[in-house]
Amino acid sequence: MTDKPQTEQAEGSKFNLQRIAIIAAGVLIGLVILLFVIALLLSTAGDSVGNIIRIIRDLVIIFLALEGVLIILGLALLTLQVARLVNLLQTEVKPILENTQETVKTAQGTVEFVGSNITEPLIAAGGFFAGASVLVNNLFGIRRALKHIETEGDHE
């Protein structure tokens, strides 16, 4: 194991991930510039090379058009999925939430009823009986003390 805390390890891995992303972007930009320079040199080299580059250009345009069609289809599917999610939320989740709120209100009413009609009287009765118990113990304590004083007075 290492002696670095987890936060320092997470920051170190984040820094490494950021560094990798910057390097990858730089390599990609470099490749695009290199391809542009090669295409520029080949287009000025001769007529036959220019025809090849035009064909490649046309193929890239066709490829990009097909990619655009795929992106539009993907966006359409995404829109459809979002619509289905909204429908699911409205038809299933909303009634569940409403039932849950109703249950919570019922439980709150039950707790208030139990608290005011059962718990408070029990606490009051328990307090009364505790006070009565202390009173009785004190009375018997006074009797014992008086008895004890009378018995000592008789022994003298």
Domain coordinates in residue numbering, the chain: 1-45, 46-155
Average pLDDT over residues 15-37: 89
pTM, whole model, 2 decimals?
Answer: 0.41
Calculate the average pLDDT of the chain: 82
Average pLDDT over residues 119-137: 87
DSSP string, 47-116: HHHHHHHHHHHHHHHHHHHHHHHHHHHHHHHHHHHHHHHHHHIIIIIHHHHHHHHHHHHHHHHHHHHHII
